[in-house]
A and B are shown apart, each in its own frame.
Chain A
Amino acid sequence: MTRRLLSGFARSVAIFVPVFLVATFVTFALRALSGLSPAHLQLGESATPEAVAQIEHQWGLDRPFLTQYLDWFGDLLAGRLGTSWYNGADISRLLVEGAVVSLSVAGLALVLGVVFGFGFGVLAAVRRTTWVDRAITGFMTFISVMPSFVVGIVLVVVFAVGLGWFPSAGYVPAERGLGVWLAHLVLPAIALSFDTVSDVARQLRAGLVAAYRENYVTGAVVRGLGPRRIFLRHVLRNGMGPALTVLGMKFPNLLGGAVVTESIFGMAGFGKFAADSAQRGDVPAVQGVLVVSVVLVVVFNLLVNVILVRVTPASARGV
């Protein structure tokens, strides 16, 4: 078992190391592509060429591209993200504040996505071809075409403005009370989770229905096993692979979608930090956000792959 786990882990690492390298290189190349410079941020558009050159020298931007890249990458591996062009603040510190907010929302959305995605998917598969199945499938199609900002606005209109059950905006740290914290997170997390719920549910239904058609399930029925045992031991384990893979691929969307939900619900998270920094032209801050989000996505995908290897027999065999 451990050997299987290790080989699965090694295979995932082999996939994600190039991903990480390419993503960081693209991120770094953004400065050259955008042609932005800290001089314009500090001196304005009317700066003399000498002053610009001096500031660029201070930031080490007059060195060859590859030297800068290797320097930056070395700092990155040591966990240093540099300082902001905008106010000279330490980017890692700014990011941690935003990341807590975003990960709270994305994490709760992920929990909702797993619970409701698996709930609806399993229910539709167990009651396949009945009205329950058709109702769930229809509902999933309906919510899959609702962009998260549309869901967010509808939720605000109904539950914050209309009924007044939840606050319409803001974020409160968990230290100020778990209830308040959750109340501020519920609406954005629901808005963010719709896409995940519908995709996971549809994949899971398809996977489970296909698994029910397999000969080993017929065999299990013939052997007289109960429906619960058949479902848990044969159908679920073999049919949930695609749904788990989809779940792994959804995490980047949850993290990215936070840009929109944070804007609707007025939360100072990761996405807002990225959007604000980008609009100011604060390139190192944007690079910091992008790199950290790539790292989070890669780590999450490694976790999902490990779970996949443990849970589903097919991927344990390396299929």
Chain B
Amino acid sequence: MLRRVLSLASGRIAAGILTFIVLLAVLGPLLAPHDPLEGGVDVLAAPSGSHWLGTDYLGRDVLSRLLDGSRVSVLGSVQVALVALVAGVIPGILSVYLGTVFEWFTLRLADTLIALPFLVFAVAVTALLGNGIPQAMLTVGILISPLFYRVSRAATLSVARSPYVEAAIISGASIGWVVRRHVWVKVLPPIAVALANTAGVGFVVVSSLTFLGIGVQPPAPTWGGVLAADLGYLSFRPWAPLVPTALIMATVWACNLLADAIRDVSGEAGRALLNSRAVRRRHVHS
């Protein structure tokens, strides 16, 4: 599937941006030219040779704070997506098999989580549970999980009751073989799409929370936190939000683009599209 995603231009762009962002998260803290927590006398400075993005209201180097904060911001959204994946997919698939009581209960729970005013709950629950990164990731992940629940449940339903799966079981195929051969290929693409989407949503939510100062303790830098610090001094440095804003928007856009690319290459329409392209290419080459 990865190769097919990369054969699309949008898939390549998305993969390129996301690779850059992930590299930033992994290497960022090492690349930071200054200590992100150390202030100086030179407050609210314009960009210069020693401070490429200037300094904030405490004289801290903004570039270093962005680089150092990339780890929490980026890995946080990955964690959110993974929590949501586990908390959504397992009950989603089980709801098809475990009987009506479990099904009814999980369906109502999913309805409820979707109906909640998301950010208010994320803020309130995170702060009440002790205002740390793990609490924030867990809360947001569970609040997003209904997406995975619905997607995996729908995909499992469509396969589990399809004639060819019944036929395979009647002709003596083991459940394990059926899952590997039939169920997995049907369930995987929509989950991959949902995963790319939730990574984007999770990123926005994590940035929003850190912007509000929820989920991180004050001096620790995050992309949202850098933006929040800029907000109070816009009349001195009106251009300051540019770089963190661009980073956040590029990440979200790349996640959406990746989700669309995966959706395009999975499913019947996508396969036909790719086949026609492959055919055309073969035609040109011959």
Residues of A within 8 A of B (CB): 15-16, 18-19, 22-23, 26, 30, 33-34, 36, 141, 144-150, 153-154, 156-157, 161-162, 249, 252-253, 255-260, 263-264, 270-271, 274-275, 277-279, 281, 283, 286, 289-290, 293-294, 297-298, 301
CA distance A86 to B227 in the complex (A): 30
Query: Contacts A34-B128, A161-B234 hold; do A294 and B114 have CB atoms under 8 A apart?
Result: no
Q: Are B245 and A150 in touch, CB under 8 angstroms?
A: yes
**Which of B128, B204, B207 is in CB contact (< 8 Å) with A281?**
B128
CA distance A217 to B70 in the complex (A): 52
Q: Are B129 and A33 in touch, CB under 8 angstroms?
A: yes
For this complex, 30 residue pairs linking A to B, each with C-beta atoms less than 8 Å apart, are A19-B115, A22-B112, A23-B115, A30-B125, A34-B129, A145-B253, A147-B248, A147-B249, A149-B207, A150-B248, A150-B249, A153-B241, A156-B231, A157-B234, A161-B235, A253-B117, A256-B119, A257-B119, A258-B120, A259-B208, A259-B212, A271-B119, A271-B123, A275-B127, A275-B212, A278-B125, A279-B127, A293-B117, A293-B120, A297-B115
Q: Encode B86-126 as 1/0 by CB contact (under 8 A) with A.
A: 00000000000000000000001101101111111111111
Q: Are A145 and B124 in touch, CB under 8 angstroms?
A: no
Q: Are B121 and A256 in touch, CB under 8 angstroms?
A: yes
Q: Are B256 and A145 in touch, CB under 8 angstroms?
A: yes
CA distance A157 to B234 in the complex (A): 7
CA distance A147 to B112 in the complex (A): 24
Pairs A-B, 9 closest by C-beta atoms: A278-B127, A256-B117, A256-B119, A22-B112, A34-B128, A145-B252, A252-B117, A255-B117, A145-B253
Contacts of A259 in B (CB 8 A): 119-120, 123, 208, 212
CA distance A12 to B32 in the complex (A): 54
Q: Are B116 and A297 in touch, CB under 8 angstroms?
A: yes
CA distance A82 to B69 in the complex (A): 40
Contacts of B120 in A (CB 8 A): 255-256, 258-259, 270-271, 274, 289-290, 293
Instruction: Tell me, rounded to whole Å, the shortest Cβ–Cβ distance linking B150 to chain A.
Output: 13
CA distance A286 to B241 in the complex (A): 31
**Which of B109, B128, B204 is in CB contact (< 8 Å) with A36?**
B128
**Which of B122, B241, B248, B252 is in CB contact (< 8 Å) with A157?**
B241
Contacts of A249 in B (CB 8 A): 114
Q: Encode B76-87 as 1/0 by CB contact (under 8 A) with A.
A: 000000000000
Instruction: Tell me, rounded to whole Å, the shortest Cβ–Cβ distance linking A138 to chain B.
Output: 12
CA distance A34 to B227 in the complex (A): 30
| Interface of chain A, main secondary structure | helix
- Which of A149, A270, A290 neighbours the largest number of chain B CB atoms within 10 Å of its CB? A149
Q: Encode B54-65 as 1/0 by CB contact (under 8 A) with A.
A: 000000000000
Q: Are B128 and A149 in touch, CB under 8 angstroms?
A: no
CA distance A144 to B211 in the complex (A): 19
**Interface check B214, CB cutoff 8 A:** yes
Contacts of B112 in A (CB 8 A): 18-19, 22-23, 26
Q: Are B115 and A278 in touch, CB under 8 angstroms?
A: no
Query: Contacts A263-B212, A275-B212, A297-B115 hold; do A147 and B231 have CB atoms under 8 A apart?
Result: no
CA distance A253 to B201 in the complex (A): 12
Q: Are B123 and A278 in touch, CB under 8 angstroms?
A: yes
CA distance A144 to B120 in the complex (A): 20
Contacts of B256 in A (CB 8 A): 141, 144-145
Contacts of B125 in A (CB 8 A): 30, 278
Contacts of A157 in B (CB 8 A): 234, 238, 241
- Mark out the residues of chain B between 10 and 40 whose CB falls within 8 Å of any chain A CB in the assembled complex: none
**Which of A15, A258, A271, A286 is in CB contact (< 8 Å) with B111?**
A15
Query: Contacts A157-B238, A281-B128 hold; do A149 and B208 have CB atoms under 8 A apart?
Result: yes
Q: Number of B residues contacting the other chain (C-beta, 8 Å)?
A: 43
**Interface check B141, CB cutoff 8 A:** no
Q: Are B249 and A274 in touch, CB under 8 angstroms?
A: no
Query: Contacts A19-B108, A271-B119 hold; do A30 and B128 have CB atoms under 8 A apart?
Result: yes
Q: Encode B155-186 as 1/0 by CB contact (under 8 A) with A.
A: 00000000000000000000000000000000
**Interface check B189, CB cutoff 8 A:** no
Q: Are A283 and B115 in touch, CB under 8 angstroms?
A: no
Q: Are A18 and B111 in touch, CB under 8 angstroms?
A: yes
Q: Are A275 and B214 in touch, CB under 8 angstroms?
A: yes
Contacts of A36 in B (CB 8 A): 128
CA distance A34 to B122 in the complex (A): 14
Instruction: Tell me, rounded to whole Å, the shortest Cβ–Cβ distance linking B54 to chain A.
Output: 15
With CB as the reference atom, state the residue of chain B lying closest to A257: B119
With CB as the reference atom, state the residue of chain A lying closest to B109: A22
- Mark out the residues of chain B between 123 and 145 whose CB falls within 8 Å of any chain A CB in the assembled complex: 123-131
Q: Are A149 and B224 in touch, CB under 8 angstroms?
A: yes
With CB as the reference atom, state the residue of chain A lying closest to B130: A34
Contacts of A145 in B (CB 8 A): 200, 249, 252-253, 256
**Interface check B68, CB cutoff 8 A:** no
**Which of B108, B230, B234, B249 is in CB contact (< 8 Å) with A22?**
B108
With CB as the reference atom, state the residue of chain B lying closest to A285: B124
Contacts of A260 in B (CB 8 A): 119, 208, 211-212
Contacts of B245 in A (CB 8 A): 150, 153-154
Instruction: Tell me, rounded to whole Å, the shortest Cβ–Cβ distance linking A38 to chain B.
Output: 14
With CB as the reference atom, state the residue of chain B lying closest to A30: B128
Contacts of A286 in B (CB 8 A): 124, 128
Q: Encode B184-227 as 1/0 by CB contact (under 8 A) with A.
A: 00000000000000001000100110011010000000001001
CA distance A283 to B207 in the complex (A): 25
CA distance A146 to B127 in the complex (A): 25
CA distance A258 to B208 in the complex (A): 11
